[in-house]
């Protein structure tokens, strides 16, 4: 499956952005979807995940209450609504997909288990 992320940009602190990640190819499978980010000089870190049905979500502590992950399985797209952005949210954001079976309607944040990765979209938050 190929993942295409979009929606990044430059925004002032306190502003909002919505990232999108559209999957193509192999979409007959079920996928747990997630967003990760990597800031300059730092390791990649988990941001948010959503189970294949959309019933379960998980967030990294620093984004809880500010970011919301959703998905539209008809459109094969996952979204990350980012509100109240802070300069420390500046990073390249990557979407990732983990193929799961029907009974695995849960989330995880283990990057090594994600089979497919998008190229990333830059988010820059100015102070």
pLDDT digits (tens, 9 = 90+) for 14-63: 999 999 999 998 766 799 999 999 999 999 999 999 999 999 999 999 99
pLDDT at 27: 63
Q: Does 6 score more than 80 pLDDT?
A: yes
In whole angstroms, what is the distance from residue 101 CA to residue 122 CA? 31
Alpha-carbon 6 to chain mean position:
11
pLDDT at 125: 98
What mean pLDDT comes out for the span 67-71? 97
pLDDT band at 102 (very low <50, low <70, confident <90, very high): confident
To the nearest 10°, report the CA torsion of 16, 79, 59, 92: -70
pLDDT at 25: 85
Average pLDDT over the chain, rounded to whole?
95
Q: How many CB atoms lie within 10 A of CB 17?
A: 20
Total residues belonging to the chain? 127
| 9-12/121-126 β-pairing | parallel
What mean pLDDT comes out for the span 57-75? 96
């Amino acid at each position: 499956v190929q993942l295409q992320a979009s929606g990044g940009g430059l925004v002032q602190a306190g502003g909002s952005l919505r990232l999108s990640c559209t999957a193509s190819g192999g979409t007959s499978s079920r996928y747990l979807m997630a967003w990760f980010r990597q800031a300059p000089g730092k390791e990649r870190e988990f941001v948010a995940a959503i189970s294949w049905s959309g019933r379960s979500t998980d967030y990294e502590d620093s984004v809880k209450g500010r970011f919301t992950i959703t998905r539209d399985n008809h459109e094969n797209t996952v979204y990350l609504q980012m509100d109240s952005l802070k300069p420390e949210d500046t990073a390249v954001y990557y979407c990732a997909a983990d193929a799961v079976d029907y009974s695995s309607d849960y989330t995880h944040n283990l990057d090594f288990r994600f089979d497919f990765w998008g190229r990333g979209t830059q988010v820059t938050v100015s102070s």
